[in-house]
Amino acid sequence: MELFLDTANLDEIREALSLGVISGVTTNPTLIAKERVDYKERILKICELVSPGPVSVEVLSQDAEGMYKEAMEYASWAPNVVIKVPVVKEGLKALKLMHAAKIKTNVTLVFSLNQALLAAISGATYASPFVGRLDDVGHDGMELISQIVAVYGLHDFPTKVIAASIRHPLHVVQAASVGAHIATIPFSVLEGMLKHPLTDIGVKRFLDDWQKVKELLEKK
């Protein structure tokens, strides 16, 4: 299983990369808007930092022709760009063109097994079911991840499942347990995964114990 970071914030990306556990980044228009920077400028910088790891960049057009044009442009920005396409009718049409042009794709806003099937049949590199947003409306987001992983496996689809819209560390554990290939997580969730009070207490006790003996030895 791999972890991607779900952000457009450069400090978070640098910090997460320095930990050595993040192998890609996913962005979306909301995340880039939060940064109040130019779309292209920010994507170029993220691609440079994450290279050779994949960076998902979402199309903004509503029609297939526009989406495909954007995809061609974004793909020319950096070799690790992956085009994020919403699973709608125009998106499927655009995916067909992107697949033929051998452009890597991440089908986003997946909320059902049918949508995930369409993504895989379209030759998507990745499909991103949104766990948290399903949970928000009273559905079991993780159950959908589990179903998609099973069906993709049953039919040997090479499309990788990215558990997206991850809200807390338990989601990561659950995504790993049901076989998601990747979880894309906010920086706060990455920090949450690492945190355990017993680890902090343990580190402090080891250091204190050694310090006491060190002082005794120095007095001798």
Active-site residue among 40, 69, 84, 93?
A: 84
Distance of closest approach, residue 209 Cβ to ligand E4P, in angstroms: 43
Q: Contact between 159 and ligand E4P (CB under 6 A)?
A: no
What would the two tokens of residue 43 be? Answer: 């994507």
Distance of closest approach, residue 207 Cβ to ligand E4P, in angstroms: 37
Judge if the upstream peptide bond of residue 158 is cis by omega within 30 degrees of 0.
no
In terms of Cα–Cα distance, which of 36, 109, 47, 111 is closest to 74? Answer: 47
- Burial label for 142, CB within 10 Å (0-12, 13-18, 19+), is buried
Phi, psi of 2 (to 5 degrees): -120, 160
Q: Contact between 130 and ligand E4P (CB under 6 A)?
A: yes
The question of whether 84 is a catalytic residue gets the answer yes
The residue (of 130 and 152) whose beta carbon lies closer to ligand E4P is 130
Q: Return the H-helix or E-strand segment holding 6.
A: strand 2-6
Distance of closest approach, residue 166 Cβ to ligand E4P, in angstroms: 6
Span from 70-78, 126-134, 145-153, 208-216 in contact with ligand E4P (CB under 6 A): 126-134
DSSP bridge partners of 84: 58, 106
Name residues contacting ligand E4P, limited to 21-80 (CB under 6 A): 26, 28
Residue 160: count of CB within 10 angstroms of its CB: 18
Distance separating alpha carbons of residues 112 and 144, to the nearest angstrom:
7
Q: Contact between 184 and ligand E4P (CB under 6 A)?
A: yes
The residue (of 33 and 100) whose beta carbon lies closer to ligand E4P is 33
The residues of the shown chain that bind ligand E4P, judged by CB under 6 A, are 6, 26, 28, 108, 128, 130, 132-133, 164-165, 184
